[in-house]
C-alpha cells in the first residue's frame, strides 16, 4: 500500500513539474537588443577560450555532465574511471572556469 501511495505521489509531482516547465517555455521572451547580443557574443568567446584552456580530461567531464546532461555515474561509466575521479575533475574544471571568466 505504501509503495503504491509513493508511486502516485511521485507521478503527481512529476506531472506538476512538467506542467510548470511547459508553461515557462510557452511565455514569450523579450527580443534581445544589439547590446545584449554583443555582450552575449563576447561572453561566448571568453567561455570558449576558457574551455579550451582546460585540461582535456577535465573538459570532457564538464561537457558530458553539463552540456550533454549525463549523470556523474554515467560519466564515470562512459570514461571508465571511478566516480570520485569524475567528481574531482568536475570540481576542478568548474573552479578553473570561474577563475578564467572573472
pLDDT tens for 13-27 read 887 777 776 776 666
Q: What are phi and psi of 69, to 5 degrees?
A: 80, 20
In the numeric block, which cell numbers belong to residue 9? 505521489
User: Half-sphere exposure (CA, 13 Å, Cβ side) for 57?
Assistant: 11
From CA 69, how far away is CA 30, in angstroms rounded? 27
4-13, 59-68, 84-93: the lowest-pLDDT one:
4-13
- Of the ranges 3-7, 23-27, 43-47, which one carries the lowest mean pLDDT score? 23-27
Amino acid at each position: 500500500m505504501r509503495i503504491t501511495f509513493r508511486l502516485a505521489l511521485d507521478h503527481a509531482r512529476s506531472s506538476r513539474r512538467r506542467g510548470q516547465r511547459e508553461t515557462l517555455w510557452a511565455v514569450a521572451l523579450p527580443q534581445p537588443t544589439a547590446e545584449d547580443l554583443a555582450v552575449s557574443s563576447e561572453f561566448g568567446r571568453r567561455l570558449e577560450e576558457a574551455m579550451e584552456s582546460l585540461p582535456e580530461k577535465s573538459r570532457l567531464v564538464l561537457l558530458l555532465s553539463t552540456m550533454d546532461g549525463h549523470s556523474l555515474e554515467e560519466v564515470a561509466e562512459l570514461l571508465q574511471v571511478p566516480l570520485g575521479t569524475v567528481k574531482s575533475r568536475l570540481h576542478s574544471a568548474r573552479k578553473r572556469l570561474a577563475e578564467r571568466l572573472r
